[in-house]
Amino acid sequence: MTSLKRSLVSDPYASNISSKVYVRSTKAGKVQKIVRELYLRQDIPCSSKLCTACLKNAPRDASGILAPFVLSAKPAGTKKYTQGHYLVPDTNALLNALDLFEQKSAFYDVIILQTVLEELRNRSIPLYNRLIGLTKSEEKRFHVFFNDFRLETYVTRGEGVSINDRNDRAVRRAVKWYSEHLAQAVKAADGKSGQVPAVVMLSDDKENLKKAKKDGIDSCSLREYVDGLDDANNLLDMIAVVKEGREIKDTKMVQKVHKDYLTVSKMMTGVKNGTLHQGIFNVTPYNYLVGSIKVPAFDKPLMILGRESMNRAVHGDVVVVEVLTKDQWKEASTKIIEEETINKDENADAEDGEAVVTEREQRALQEEVKRVHSKTSEGRAQPTAKVVGVIKRNWRQCVGHIEESSVSKSGKPQMVFLIPMDKKIPKIRVRTRQAAEIVGKRVLVTIDSWDVDSRYPVGHFVRSLGDVENKAAETEALLLEYDVQYRPFPKAVLDCLPAEGHDWIVPPSTDDPGWQDRRDLRHLQICSIDPIGCQDIDDALHARPLPNGNFEVGVHIADVSHFVKPNSAMDAEASIRGTSVYLVDKRIDMLPMLLGTDLCSLKPYVQRYAFSAIWEITPDAEIVNSEFTKSVIKSREAFSYEQAQLRVDDQSQQDDLTLAIRTLLTLSKKFKQKRMDAGALSLSSPEVKVEMESETSDPIDVKTKKHLDTMSLVEEFMLLANTSVAAKIYSAFPQTAMLRRHGAPPKTNFEELALQLKTKRGLELSVDSSKALADSLDTCIDPNEPFFNTLVRIMATRCMMAAEYFCSGTQAYPEFRHYGLASEIYTHFTSPIRRYADLVAHRQLAAAIDYEPIHAAVRSKGKLEAVCRNINVRHRNAQLAGRASIEYYVGQALKGRIVEEEGFVMKVFSNGFVVFVPRFGIESLIRLRDLAEPEPEGVFDAEEYVLETKGSREIRVELFGKVVVRISDVLEEKTGKRVVKSEFVKSGGKE
């Protein structure tokens, strides 16, 4: 009979075919045997500019274009390899020190093998993504060589050989082949053998290095290699802490400080049958020993109390928890506990015999347990849990500074503690040689691991940002903390801009294809109203009376979707950035400036492309009809809010433009009234403006923003536009419209605030509907204190859910509601220059009006959901970054000054209270021990929200009470930071 088996002997192509067999388990639990055939080739090029043979045989793509060779003909040399060298890193070298490879000072001409790339992808996706970014950058000259597809470098696994060993052998084989191949190439070009660059394998695996020596391959460990480079000291710090040397320690019993994690299968089984729960671990902002986790099974988040229960989970990780038995449930914390204070003066080097919970921590926790029996929910025990395993770590690079007390002044390598800027992340142990130099600087570090036997996580140093007080360093630190992409736009993105650059104009002739389907609205009296100094003008308005007594009102938005096409590099970059970030003195743009401030911006006196929404409105602000169209406009004037307000108020001005603005103003007032009647909320965030000296950009003063009528004008019409567009794109794309919703807050969020208002002021807060809430907020006034109402609104804002972008197919229609605006359906449409969501809405609207066919990317629900997730995160980060920037500047504005200001008590703890100062828009924490030396004894009445002190100083503060604080800036000795410090002066107002 003829054999059915693929007989490799008789097949002429047999040596070129190989197969891989493995087992794949699907999520549903199916287990499949997968067989993949591999066709091995001989024409995969080595990509070295020295080699002409590969150039001849290299495969070309469909258009006949050859991928250019990357590796340079004259690569850099080191002390050891003077004739130049190419580097071939092993997987562990990349895992431990990817930051090193990203350095500009060394590590060029690197060959990344396919085996190594795939192993890296299986181990760590973020590192893999970073490596791919490196390979795409042209200046670093990284080349991915597909050694598993190339016949000469393909290695089969022997019997009983592990996958790791096989991969190591593949790496060695590839290195050997490369050196032989290059030698041949140089010989063919009649070069001397001294010119052949060495091919060096970098690995931290001792076995691999030994075998490489036996095979006669150039190899060295990372440390050795880095030693041979200039700038070795800096670079050596960046190598992550490796686990070697642990074997020696094992002989004396390594004391397990934390509990081991459960195995993955145990955790999965537990989650599936409901005994364990999975969720994202959060640390509470005021108390670093208390964490919480929201799981689907419980309404309220579960509490995780204490270091032992947290078991090495870091804020943001996806963890699995087990609920503790009822007798172990603890009460919610009313103390402020900061790691800095409790755990200072610890020895960074101490690695043995550490307890998880130090005495000081234990004491702090124990005082929690001594609770007076009380009626509030704070007194009752809440479900508590402990962490039993981590599914995914979300460690990112964090910014922080070295703890001074942990540094010894010698130049030797030592372990120091790094305190991250974000209080939710614990101290990190870092080994460095340059401790003395980087004290007092802001540095960037990454956490590498947190072992079972270590009290703190261990990490490595990436780079220094600059001195702590230095503005540039601080700004960079802020941007890094909130994960804002601030690097300049790469070349690929800039290539997407129109070639004419600043000379681009709207085509003058209306027959030009650019005019197709665009309406000519250049005759309309259009103007824009924006903050002072605004250059990226997104929106413009016009209004004119119609013969039938109604008004024609138009909102014109910059037509960004004309310039940013889907799936282009610029679109990808904008999608990742998600939004423009506004810091006090800087703006990180989502789109390149050419578009944002020139071509797309609706600047006055020039013609621009726009996307217009035009309504016919009765004088009573009823909408008769609406339409959307692409257009060309010419804005007549660009006003600032103040200028527009002045112009409206000035009765002598009677030209068309001013009349139009007045019409808009009256209509906007009517719209606003309608919204309020429907239950829209007017909530307050503390808005603060920092005035800066023009030359040095040093802040002079801080003022709260005044609210003008013209601001409401613009706001109302933007809301109208957004709502109309939302309805239109939803009707065209019911499954995939990009919308924005604001969920109704659950009653429990308001419980505490309602109780506080009732107890202190006898006021009712009704949360049945947004109208009820709005009305009851209106009644929360204090006749003696006008600011009280704003304070309550600020606190109410914090109880709200966050508004989020979503894809219409993922929610039912009732969920589309925007609670805060009391609108059934809403989206963001009016700021495409600074928000990616608006750009998507533009594309969808253009398809809805049949201007252009819908692009697949904007139609796919999966893609849109991913986009929504990203922009929600970016939006939040941008807000936080903006606030942090204001805080920093407020601190700077106060430099050297001492100001006494009025404030209001927002929150009361047993050992302190939080004061909100409206002038600066800041919240400061005043601890009992800050009041006087020695610390006065505090008596905390949890039900009446009153804190009284006895002893060295006697004060009485109550919630919502007015106090006077002295605000100054102080240089903290141990951190070298300048912080805003508030001192309590007295209760009551400033007389």
Partner 1 sequence: MAPQSLQQILLSPAELSYLHTSLSSNPPIRPDGRTATQFRPLIAESDILPGTNGSARICFADGTEAVVGVKAEVERSSGISRDVDGEGEGEEGVKKGRNEWVEISVDIPGERDDDSNPIFLAAVLSEALLADGEFVERLWINRHFHWRLYLDVLLLSPPLSYPLPLLSLTTHLALLTTRLPKLLSEKDEDPLFSDDWDASEPLYHPPHTSHPPITLLVMAVQETIIFDPSKEELAVADAVLAVSLSESPTSNSSSQDTEMEMDVEGGKKRNLRLLAVRTIDPPSRLTHKGLANKVNTATGGTAQKNLEDGGGDGEEGVWCPPRGGAKRGLIKEMIGRVLERGGVGEEVLDGLCGAEL
Binding residues for partner 1 (CB under 8 A):
1, 3-5, 19, 21-25, 29-31, 33, 35, 157, 163, 263-266, 268-269, 272
In angstroms, give the least distance from the CB of 169 to partner 1.
15
**Between 30 and 487, CB nearer to partner 1:** 30
DSSP string, 657-690: HHHHHHHHHHHHHHHHHHHHHHT--------EEE
Parallel, antiparallel, or unpaired for β 922-927 and 198-202? unpaired
Residue closer to partner 1, measured from CB, 80 or 266: 266
Under DSSP, is residue 623 helix (H, G, I), strand (E, B) or coil?
A: strand
Least distance (Å) between residue 4 CB and partner 1: 4
Whether the Cβ atoms of residue 628 and residue 725 lie closer than 8 Å to each other: yes
Closest distance of CB 162 from partner 1, Å = 8
**By C-beta, is 272 or 565 nearer to partner 1?**
272
Classified as helix, coil or strand, 177 is: helix
Encoded amino acid at 42, one letter: Q
For the bound state, the minimum distance from the C-beta of residue 29 to partner 1, rounded and expressed in Å, comes to 6
CB of 265 to partner 1, least distance (A): 4
Of 125 and 873, CB closest to partner 1? 125
CB of 25 to partner 1, least distance (A): 6
What phi and psi, each to the nearest 5 degrees, are found at residue 267?
-65, -45
CA distances to 99, 642, 672, 771, 902 from 682, in Å: 47, 22, 10, 11, 24
Residues 832 and 560 sit within 8 Å (Cβ to Cβ)? yes
CB atoms within 10 A of CB 686: 20
Pick the closer one to partner 1 by CB: 273 or 625.
273
In the block, residue with structure tokens 């109550």: 958
Q: Please, what is the Cα angle at 773 between 771 and 776, to 5 degrees? A: 105
Under the phi-then-psi rule, with left for phi > 0, alpha for psi from -120 to 50, and beta for the rest, what region is 602? beta
Q: How far is the CB of 17 from partner 1 (least distance, A)?
A: 12
Q: How far is the CB of 121 from partner 1 (least distance, A)?
A: 14
Lookup: tokens for 32: 């499949």
Minimal distance in Å, beta carbon 201 to partner 1? 25
Nearer to partner 1, 29 or 896 (CB): 29
Compute the least distance from the CB of residue 304 to partner 1, in Å: 24
Give residue 450's Cα distance to chain centre: 23
Report the residue number, 3 or 42, with the smaller CB distance to partner 1: 3
Q: 776-780 contacts: CB < 8 A, separation 24 or more?
A: 777/681
CA-CA distance, 514 to 520, in Å (whole number)? 12
Shorter beta-carbon distance to partner 1: residue 265 or 652 = 265
84 phi and psi, to 5 degrees?
Answer: 100, 155
- Shortest distance, position 592 Cβ to partner 1, whole Å: 45
Q: How far is the CB of 260 from partner 1 (least distance, A)?
A: 14
Nearer to partner 1, 21 or 253 (CB): 21
CB atoms within 10 A of CB 348: 23
Question: Per the structure block, which two tokens stand in for 594?
Answer: 């050419």
Q: Which is nearer to partner 1, 274 or 508 (CB)?
A: 274
Query: Which residues does residue 970 pair with via DSSP β-bridges, in sequence order?
Result: 979
Minimum CB separation of residue 580 from partner 1 in Å reads 45
Vertex 771: Cα angle to 765 and 772 (nearest 5): 30
Q: What is the closest distance, in whole angstroms, from the C-beta atom of residue 167 to partner 1 in the complex?
A: 13
**Can the peptide bond before residue 934 be classed as cis, meaning omega within 30 degrees of 0?**
yes
Q: What is the 3 state secondary structure string of 209-248? A: HHHHHHHCCCEECHHHHHHCCCCHHHHHHCCCCCCCCHHH
Give the separation between CA 657 and CA 544, rounded to whole angstroms: 9
The 8-class DSSP code of residue 597 comes to: I
**CA angle, residues 170, 171, 176, in degrees to nearest 5:** 95
- Rounded Cα–Cα distance for residues 416 and 411 (Å): 12
What CA–CA distance (Å, rounded) separates 274 from 271? 5
CA distances from 653 to 610, 649, 925 (A): 28, 9, 51
Closer to partner 1 at the Cβ: 25 or 366?
A: 25
Closest distance to partner 1 from the beta carbon of 11 (Å): 15
Closer residue to partner 1 in complex, CB, 24/56: 24
Closer CB to partner 1, residue 249 or residue 272? Answer: 272
Instruction: Report the nearest approach of partner 1 to the CB of residue 24 (Å).
Output: 7
Residue 142's alpha-carbon distances to 72, 137, 145, in angstroms, are: 10, 8, 10
Q: Which is nearer to partner 1, 121 or 522 (CB)?
A: 121
Residue with Cβ nearer partner 1 (165 or 338) = 165
Residues 6 or more apart from 953 whose CB is under 8 A from it?
931, 932, 936
Q: Which is nearer to partner 1, 21 or 532 (CB)?
A: 21
Interior/surface letters 749-759, b for 16+ CB within 10 angstroms, e for the rest: ebeebbbbbee
CA distance 442 to 886: 19
The CA distance from 578 to 113, in Å, is: 34
| Tokens 């209509």, located at residue | 667
| Residue placing its CB nearer to partner 1 in the complex, 274 or 853 | 274
Q: Shortest approach of partner 1 to residue 250 CB, angstroms?
A: 24
Q: Are 926 and 984 in contact (CB under 8 A)?
A: yes
**What is the smallest separation between the CB atom of 329 and partner 1, expressed in angstroms?**
24
For residue 311, report the phi and psi dihedrals to the nearest 5 degrees: 45, 55
Based on CB atoms, which residue is closest to partner 1, 168 or 351?
A: 168
β-strands 397-402, 414-420 pairing: antiparallel
Residue type, 357: V
Q: Are 539 and 832 contacting, i.e. CB atoms less than 8 angstroms apart?
A: no
